[in-house]
């Protein structure tokens, strides 16, 4: 779980200290969505074929992946059949490199039309910028004919690269006392291992869900993961070729997952009928739910703030704030005064909202699953277990560390198969 005020390095060191020397480490490294911001990873220039330099805007991308000052065009053109219509000019590359030097930009993301069919211009531009000491990001080679999905993946990898590299350094530093660097393996969305390979930044976002799905595939059931950060439905028998992100479609092979409409940090407010409902905005864990003391907005998990099943979870037991819980109660009752029902009974209000969230979760997971059987697991499974107990095809396994266990078990399996 993401806590911006804690050091990953020190947290890992404290975690492994009682265990001494360990043999292998398998890691699913997921960067919180809040950190998917080009301003945090450093400036990344986007260089595209002329006429397509604003492709992110044309695709309706709501969030910027670079600044407009760092969008450049090349007057080059490769046809769909791979033939060259307009040759790449070195003078144009020189002009862009000079501007990047003035702007102190050390990263460039190359997205050239039909480069998958004929990469001659892509390879030349990559070599040119690399010789200038600029880190280059280029779309991965694939048979995918859809340029936008490849380009979005490339742009996201570039955006994440700085934060991702820093997190990997913290992981290595946190584990250095327990094992050698060569024994630390990271997992990607395809269930495969990597160490120093580049271009895995966005793929790592789905590593844990892929491991959880593949490791439980033999059960013949879909997996409903109820975690502290997200609720997701995993279909182990089905693979998706792309991820429909808020930046547009992204080329990314991964076990099919469906993020549900109900999420743990979903905001609470009034709908158009002035009745209590869940909002579409997730508040996330920075600053987090109100019951932890720092949050200022009500979220779904606040409804269970006094439930010992939540407060005793690993990582939360020493964070629950009595002042935060009281602030949540005050906020909920204050909002009730302007609602349709004007209910002043806090317990009744929370039970109604708890019931609404649990029912929506159950209905959505029932309608969305691909297999009849369902495994409900994760640290918050115990909170929502009752709604699933009447379903003979559903099994509830309230395992706080199911993602970590699946990552380690599947990682070990993948390592053995790679030898």
- Alpha-carbon span 207 to 218, nearest angstrom: 19
How would you write 229-285 as a 3-class SS string? CCEEEEEEEEEEEEEEECCEEEEEEEEEEEECCCCCCEEEEECCCCCEEEEEEECCC
Residue 44 CA, chain-centre distance (Å), reads: 20
pLDDT value of residue 48: 93
- Alpha-carbon span 15 to 41, nearest angstrom: 27
Burial class (CB in 10 A: 0-12, 13-18, 19+), 314: exposed
62-74 pLDDT per residue, tens: 566 788 888 999 9
pLDDT value of residue 2: 46
- Alpha-carbon span 157 to 91, nearest angstrom: 28
pLDDT value of residue 343: 80
Give me 315's structure tokens. Answer: 């990582």
- Alpha-carbon span 26 to 392, nearest angstrom: 34
- Alpha-carbon span 286 to 307, nearest angstrom: 22
pLDDT value of residue 1: 45
Q: How many helices (H) and strands (E) does the chain have?
A: 11, 16
pLDDT value of residue 398: 85
Identify any residues that bridge with 72 across adjacent strands, giving them in sequence order: 47
| Weakly modelled stretches of the chain, pLDDT under 50 | 1-3
Task: State pTM to two decimals.
Answer: 0.88
330-351 pLDDT per residue, tens: 999 999 999 887 788 899 999 9
Q: Where are the alpha helices (DSSP H) in 176-239?
A: 207-215
pLDDT value of residue 41: 63
Decide: helix, strand or coil at residue 137. Answer: strand
């Amino acid at each position: 779980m993401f806590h911006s005020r804690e050091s990953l390095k020190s947290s890992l060191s404290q975690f492994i200290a009682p265990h001494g020397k360990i043999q292998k480490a398998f890691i699913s490294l997921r960067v919180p969505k809040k950190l998917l911001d080009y301003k945090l990873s450093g400036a990344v220039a986007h260089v595209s074929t002329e006429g397509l330099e604003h492709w992110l805007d044309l695709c309706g991308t709501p969030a910027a992946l670079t600044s407009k000052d760092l969008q450049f065009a090349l007057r080059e053109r490769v046809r769909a059949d791979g033939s060259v219509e307009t040759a790449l000019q070195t003078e144009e590359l020189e002009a862009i490199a000079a501007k990047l030097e003035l702007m102190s930009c050390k990263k460039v993301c190359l997205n050239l039309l039909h480069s998958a069919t004929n990469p001659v211009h892509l390879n030349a531009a990559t070599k040119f910028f690399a010789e200038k000491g600029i880190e280059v990001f280029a779309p991965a080679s694939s048979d995918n004919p859809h340029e936008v999905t490849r380009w979005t993946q490339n742009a996201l990898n570039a955006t994440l690269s700085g934060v991702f590299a820093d997190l990997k350094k913290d992981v290595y530093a946190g584990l250095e006392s327990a094992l050698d660097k060569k024994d630390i393996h990271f997992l990607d969305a395809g269930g495969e291992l990597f160490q120093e390979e580049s271009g895995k930044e966005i793929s790592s976002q789905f590593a844990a869900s892929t491991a959880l799905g593949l490791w439980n595939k033999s059960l013949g059931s879909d997996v409903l993961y109820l975690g502290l950060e997200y609720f997701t439905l995993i279909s182990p028998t089905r693979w998706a070729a792309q991820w429909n992100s808020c930046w547009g479609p992204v080329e990314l092979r991964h076990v099919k997952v469906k993020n549900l409409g109900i999420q743990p940090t979903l905001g609470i407010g009034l709908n158009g009928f002035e009745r209590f409902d869940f909002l579409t905005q997730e508040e996330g864990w920075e600053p987090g739910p109100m019951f932890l003391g720092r949050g200022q907005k009500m979220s779904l998990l606040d409804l269970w703030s006094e439930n010992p099943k939540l407060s005793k979870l690993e990582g939360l037991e020493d964070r629950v704030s009595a002042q935060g819980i009281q602030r949540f109660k005050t906020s909920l009752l204050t909002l009730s005064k302007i609602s349709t029902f004007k209910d002043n009974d806090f317990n009744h209000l929370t039970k109604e909202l708890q019931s609404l969230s649990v029912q929506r979760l159950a209905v959505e997971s029932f309608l969305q699953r691909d297999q009849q059987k369902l495994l409900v697991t994760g640290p918050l499974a115990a909170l929502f277990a009752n709604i699933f107990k009447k379903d003979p095809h559903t099994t509830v396994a309230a395992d706080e560390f199911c993602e970590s266990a699946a990552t380690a078990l599947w990682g070990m399996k993948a390592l053995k198969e790679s030898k």
